[in-house]
Amino acid sequence: MSRRSENPTASDEERSILCPPGLSSAEPEFSPVQRRILLQAAHQAIVSGVRDEPYPEPPVHSSGVAASLWTALLAPRGVFTTLYLEGELRGCVGYAAAIHPLYRAVQETARAAAFEDSRFSPVLEEEASKLRISVSVLSPLFPIQAPQVEVGRHGLVVSDGMRRGLLLPQVPVEHGWDREAFLDQTCRKAGLPSGAWKRPSVNIEAFTAEVFGDDGVYGSIM
């Protein structure tokens, strides 16, 4: 990868950190400052990837207030990071399991979305400064029955043996799907036919997500 001579990451003041319309409005878990930190981490991870450099280390904070701010950012969480370029999807990678501290998970999923999403060619040097980013921080998975699924609140994971599909909670809102269409599309994401969620062998799990992004963009995974 080529190196860049400037940092294309937008300043904190230039970023909006609104949540997507149409999703259930629970009390936010992450403050505006924490959201800015995570979005900046995602941008910097991509820029350092273009430069073929290691991930930047988290900023050092010494005060008691800053320490409490960082507690949630260093706890393991599942996360998906979605990239947009000129309004079009440019990459989306994540994992539902809480296997890394959130700050590092955002770095890893942002860089993977930029360079490893098999649906797209790797992000180019000239594209890095134009990317808009959405972060979806996931709750732990929990089992759910089909009639309990709430569009706009739940994300879904449908699995049957080795087949597994995941859709974020904003996806059915964006596409105007009802509950059954959401279940059908998650099955298709898993490589299963529509209606497979009715089979006894199919496992349905749900999660909620706190979603925030640059300039009002909100990521989906399709």
CB 168 within 8 A of CB 141: no
Predicted local confidence at residue 57, as pLDDT: 86
What's the pLDDT tens digit per position in 13-71?
322 334 455 555 567 899 999 999 999 999 999 999 999 999 988 876 555 557 778 88
CATH of the domain at 169: 3.30.1490.150
**Domain end marker among 138, 171, 198:** 138
Task: Answer for the pair 169, 141: CB distance below 8 angstroms, yes or no.
Answer: no
Which residues span the domain enclosing 168? 142-207
Residues 102 and 161 in one domain: no
> What is the residue whose two structure tokens read 């409490």?
68
Q: How far apart are CA 31 and CA 142, in angstroms?
A: 25
Q: Among 138, 166, 181, where does a domain finish?
A: 138
DSSP class per residue in 37-88: HHHHHHHHHHHHHHTT-PPPPPPP--SHHHHHHHHGGGSB-EEEEEEEETTE
- 150 and 84 assigned to the same domain: no
Q: Is the pTM of this model over 0.85?
A: no
Counted domains in the chain = 2
Query: What is the distance between the terminal CA atoms of the chain, rounded to a whole angstrom?
Result: 27
Do both 169 and 197 map to the same domain? yes
Residues of the chain where predicted confidence (pLDDT) is lower than 70? 1-26, 60-65, 216-222
Q: How far is CA 154 from the centre of its chain?
A: 14
CA–CA distance, 215 with 65 (Å, rounded to integer) = 27
Residue 167 and residue 86 in one domain? no
Cβ–Cβ < 8 Å for 105, 53:
no
> What is the side-by-side order of every strand in the sheet holding 88-95?
88-95, 78-85, 131-138, 209-213
Q: What is the pLDDT at residue 22?
A: 53
Residue 25 lies in a domain: no
**Rounded-to-integer distance, Cα 91 and Cα 113, Å:** 5
